[in-house]
A and B are shown apart, each in its own frame.
Chain A
């Protein structure tokens, strides 16, 4: 069965410092991996995805993620955090069988302190 784990409920970082939000996955076959962000009282917004190709994927708002097949990880990163990055982040994997269902991690809350 496909699954996604986000080992940290919360990540705290100072503004201007680099940030990392961790994600590991378990899939059969090649993974389709995604990161989404949710701001308060809003729906989820797509940040970036890995389908194939370069292991370093760049996305919206200066975020990037590194796909590591051997460690089955897809960590979200940003070189310099902003207070406005404070939000709830979800890692997700796409089930490519019947219906293209998406399995979401439990989410990691990011706090960026000024």
Chain B
């Protein structure tokens, strides 16, 4: 039972490159979330999904896109990376209004 996994763990991109971050969960949770964590700013919600085939914008969605084609996977895409997107990205899942379960994070550097 892996819980929530994220791929990759680390990545360095050049400005303008694209990439996709994968979040996978085996808990059968309906709700999935992508956050970014920057020093002194806590966690900020990028996009979220309330079920397979649905996505919605969070607090800081610009420059990111998401897809939830399968219930267990939630993908975060950067079409044209910018240095401002250097951050640690976390995926989380939950079932309803209860606590969230977090993945280990992806550390992304954009040069």
| A residues neighboring B (CB under 8 Å) | 9, 32, 34, 36, 41-46, 49, 51, 90, 94, 96, 98-102, 104-107
Return the contact of B48 from the options A45, A96, A99 (Cβ within 8 A): A99
Contact yes or no, B97 A46, CB < 8 A: no
Contact yes or no, B97 A43, CB < 8 A: no
Contact yes or no, B105 A43, CB < 8 A: yes
Given contacts A49-B98, A100-B31, A105-B42, contact A43 B58 (CB under 8 A): no
Contact yes or no, B99 A100, CB < 8 A: no
Contact yes or no, B41 A42, CB < 8 A: no
Contact yes or no, B42 A106, CB < 8 A: yes
9 cross-chain pairs, A with B, having the tightest CB-CB distances, nearest first: A43-B102, A46-B99, A104-B42, A106-B42, A104-B43, A44-B102, A43-B104, A100-B97, A94-B97
Return the contact of A43 from the options B48, B90, B99 (Cβ within 8 A): B90
Return the contact of A100 from the options B96, B102, B104, B105 (Cβ within 8 A): B96
| Complex interface: chain A residues within 8 A of B42 (CB) | 90, 104-107
- A94, closest chain B residue (CB): B97
Least distance between B110 CB and chain A CB atoms (Å) = 19
Contact yes or no, B90 A99, CB < 8 A: no
Of A34, A99, A106, chain B has the most CB atoms within 10 Å of the CB of: A99
- B6, closest chain A residue (CB): A43
| Complex interface: chain A residues within 8 A of B58 (CB) | 101
Give the residues from 50 to 64 in chain B that come closer than 8 angstroms, CB to CB, to chain A: 50, 56, 58
| Complex interface: chain A residues within 8 A of B45 (CB) | 101-102
**A101 CA / B56 CA spacing, docked (Å):** 11
| Complex interface: chain B residues within 8 A of A43 (CB) | 4, 90, 92, 102-105
Least distance between B23 CB and chain A CB atoms (Å) = 11
**A5 CA / B99 CA spacing, docked (Å):** 19
**A37 CA / B103 CA spacing, docked (Å):** 13
Q: Can you list 28 A-B contacts (CB < 8 A)?
A: A32-B97, A34-B100, A36-B102, A43-B90, A43-B104, A43-B105, A44-B43, A44-B90, A45-B102, A46-B99, A46-B100, A46-B101, A49-B98, A51-B97, A90-B42, A90-B43, A94-B97, A96-B97, A98-B56, A100-B50, A100-B97, A101-B33, A101-B45, A101-B48, A101-B58, A102-B100, A104-B42, A106-B41
